[in-house]
Chains A and B, each alone.
Chain A
Amino acid sequence: MTKEPPGYRADYADGACTAGLLHRSGPAVISRPSRWRAGRGITFVEIMIAVLILAALLLPVYQFMNSAVRETERFYVEAVAISQAKFIMDTLMFQIPWRAIRAGNPARFEDPKAVPAVQSLLTALMPRLFGSGYEGATAGSYLGDGLLTDKKGFLYRIRLKCLDLDEVEFAIDIPGKGLSSFMPNKLTPKDADGKYSVMKKLILEIRWSLHKGTDPLQDPQAKALHLVAIKSHLDE
């Protein structure tokens, strides 16, 4: 028994037809033999079609990944803003003396006792807290307001509002004596701003734009976060 070569067809052997052409009674019909049987490769057109199909499949994936990168950047900016807000609030609540945070929108930072250590602390802290633009009207005076730029070039507007809470009552319930209430003016002398204030409400706002280099105050799509805390006069 003879071994047939790959792609062998009996009708080739008897000369009835040539490869790719079948002679029938009608007009000649061009036909391609099976790729598998003929052992042929894949044509360039087929490769191009396959590439097109693949591209059509990968296009939405690319778009999705592109938007995912943008989203990741959005979360990065938000995380930076949260981190800065935490740093500012920790500093305000636990580091800066109560008397040096003065009421206003934006708040003022100025030590009425002008203690050199406190002045140095404020001078060192202000650029880290508010970036730039926090300079006050006089030397040693600062504003709770500024513009911070992160390493990627996003801009953050930071503002602190401080309110004196001078009408908060202090009550104590002593068994046998009942409830006694005290207003701050019975408990403390006036502060440097002429108020009987022993608590301050601190409201922090950080505003940022999702476009690099854009001032958030100029961007109507800017995002913002807020933190609120009440600081009590525990310094002395």
Chain B
Amino acid sequence: MARPPTQFPQFSSVGDVEKRLSEAGYLPDAQISTTVFLADRLGKPLLVEGPAGTGKTELAKALATATGSELIRLQCYEGLDEARALYEWNYKKQLLRIQASQGTDGADWNTVHDDIFGEEFLLARPLLTAIRRTEPTVLLIDETDKADVEVEGLLLEVLSDFQVTIPELGTVTATRRPMVVLTSNATRELSEALKRRCLYLALDYPSAEREREIVLSRVPDLAPGLAEQLVRTVRALRALELKKSPSISETLDWAQTLLELGLDTLDESAMRSTLGVVLKHASDQVRAAAELRLN
């Protein structure tokens, strides 16, 4: 359990987390603020898992705002490798350097060698950047489940020791450990080893009350009555067995749409004309229309 580089905790209490995240425009519930507080206190990476659009990435962004840190984002995708995640040598520049020194006879092998493997030719990718930073940093590793299994191994190494060994340069150790947030849509099970090193936060759709607050804080011009109606309707939609349940961001889009259209109530006709904002599969729309008696 090596957590070598120390970091001053950013938050003083769970209430503090809640307050500062709210100020950053993210309304956490008890589970979120407790887990974030623990991640900060214990210095462990935070693994946030949940369906798309429940505010996973948003949480990381709000964390960065709340703690005054810079957000460094590593977007995972299939085929992501060390060269994209950690660091890479700038081959082209190195080649140029070699070619430029070919004519001059003063440059012997050793100086060229030392030269082309210097700072100047190193392309730092998100993981290395986050480790080398001296200012407060939030490292967001987004959609970890999309990356290949090998990347998990790399993450394990980086996240447990917060150091990277570059053969030509030596070991780079974090001077200030970044706060790490990993997100996953659970399209595949992440490895036990990775999960074990993280604090696990399962994000689901919020409670009616919290969702209403979110809507009102993000779309402040919306009438509270309409927000209430909207949230209840979205919950009714989520209760149907849809292919893709409406997410929080889609609820917000819907609220914005209603506002733009100047609708003051969500009745059948309003819903029929705006259903495309929340449901994006034809079959889901048909199903919702039938179940909610829109016709």
Verify that A and B bind, or say they do not. Answer: no
